[in-house]
Amino acid sequence: MSKKTLYTIFIAKFLFSISLITWTIMMTLGAGVGKDNDNTFMSYYHDVDENFNQIIVNNDRFSDKYIIEIRINDFILSELSYQDIYLSQRVIKERKDRRNILSTQDNSILVTVKDKNSKKIIENIDVKILFTMPSTHEFNQEIVMKHSNETKKVVLNKKAYWNIMGSIKIGKEIGQFYIKTNAI
């Protein structure tokens, strides 16, 4: 082959590669990657990423003042847990705790918050709990509670992996939790 043919093939391959890179970037930008509200802590992923340390500080401050009990069916969460955020959904198959918490029937949710010093129940609270599937937001269920010891029901129509995340607000204090589980 002549030099002219080799250079032409090289330039054509280079331009084709550049066009594929440009096409990939354009398709990614058009798909809204990173703009989806993935609902982690009921916020955008980037907001959680930027403020994760503050979320932990807020949870510690909240836990210093209040005793919480979140009862979902027979499961009791007695701390503002966010450790599940580090786990993949497949871990649920292997673990013993926090597995099969939800049902495809009625799910009963009860939140109780007590003052740590006086042990009295805090009546006026602002609780938001979101049940979401990691693969789609189509079946999201959100419940809101305004009082301790208030029971709410939620029906999840899919036997699947679910994320349960929520926030408890009392005055200016906010505590958040995140649980990965499944519905059977």
Name which of 168, 23, 158 is nearest 110 in CA terms: 168
Q: Which pLDDT value is given to residue 118?
A: 94
pLDDT by residue for the chain (184 residues), tens only, comes to 788 898 999 999 999 999 999 999 888 877 655 555 555 555 666 676 677 778 888 889 999 999 999 999 988 888 887 777 767 767 767 777 777 888 888 899 999 999 999 999 998 899 999 998 887 778 888 999 998 888 999 998 888 888 888 999 999 999 999 888 888 8
Q: Which pLDDT value is given to residue 110?
A: 93
Q: Which residues are CB-contacts of 80 (< 8 A; sequence separation ≥ 6)?
A: 59, 62, 63, 68, 168, 175, 176, 177
Q: Which pLDDT value is given to residue 12?
A: 94
The CA distances from residue 177 to 3, 35, 63, in Å, are 65, 23, 12
Q: Which pLDDT value is given to residue 44?
A: 60
DSSP 18-59: HHHHHHHHHHHHHTTTTTS---GGGS-HHHHHHHHHHHHHHH
- How far apart CA 72 and CA 65 sit, in angstroms, is 23
